[in-house]
Structure 1
Amino acid sequence: MSEPEETQTQAKATPLRSLIGAVISGSLAFAAYFLMSAIATSFAAKPLHSDNLIVLRISSAVRTLVLGIAALGSGVFAIVAIGLVALAIQLFFQQLVKRES
């Protein structure tokens, strides 16, 4: 029994698609940044109240991990947006060279 093969067509990369992706990724980066800022503000406004050293260390580690994950998400989306803008510029110049020749 063989399953029918699905033909997948790959969409060509265009400067417009790259810029649209960059806008989407950039907006997600800003959203992640504002989320990270809100989390940091919330953590700063609510200090830890405990006499137990283990509780203080674990809660500090959890807070650091939460902020780190939000910062990582923001950074990844920002780098993707920059890369897509660079790809759009590269594709634009490639189209200009093709038209000239």
Structure 2
Amino acid sequence: MTLLSPKTSPLRCLTGALIAGTLGLLLYRLTGAIAYLFATHAVSAHHQLVYSLAVAVRTLVVGLCTLATGVFSIIALGLVALTLQLLWERWVQREQA
């Protein structure tokens, strides 16, 4: 018995998918709120360097939030697909037995 690799089950996969999906949804809403905040509040800088840095930071923040949203959403979809695969394998094994 190894402690680092517990047996994969459909319930564990669905639990992980629920957690990842919830995080993805929360990050999606956070990304929208941040993008809306940045769109409604213009950068008021008199120097070109300050303006460029502010735009770069805004782009970086929205991009990282969008990346995290995509990663968690893909993880959730992958875990749902793994759940379906495990259920399919169990069904095929019962049919063969």
Q: Same fold (TM over 0.5)?
A: yes
TM-score bracket, shorter-length normalisation: over 0.9
Q: From the two aligned structures, give the one with the greater helix fraction.
A: 2
Per-residue deviation, residues 22-63 of structure 1 (Å, max 9, x unmatched): 111000000001111111111112101112111111000000
Return the alpha-carbon distance in structure 1 between the equivalents of residues 92 and 48 of structure 2: 65
- Matched to 1:25, the amino acid is A
RMSD across aligned C-alpha pairs, in angstroms? 1.1
Identity of aligned residues (%): 44
Range with bigger deviation, 40-49 or 78-87: 40-49
Which residue is 1:89 aligned to?
A: 84
Structure whose alpha-carbon radius of gyration is higher: 1
Which residue is 1:64 aligned to?
A: 59
Q: TM-score w.r.t. structure 1 length?
A: 0.89
Return the alpha-carbon distance in structure 1 between the equivalents of residues 95 and 37 of structure 2: 56
- Which runs of 5 or more residues in structure 1 are unaligned? 1-6
Q: TM-score w.r.t. structure 2 length?
A: 0.92
Question: Deviation at 1:14?
Answer: 1.1
Choose from 26, 29, 46 the match for 1:31. Answer: 26
**Displaced runs of 4 or more, over 4 A:** none
Return the alpha-carbon distance in structure 2 between the equivalents of residues 28 and 9 of structure 1: 24
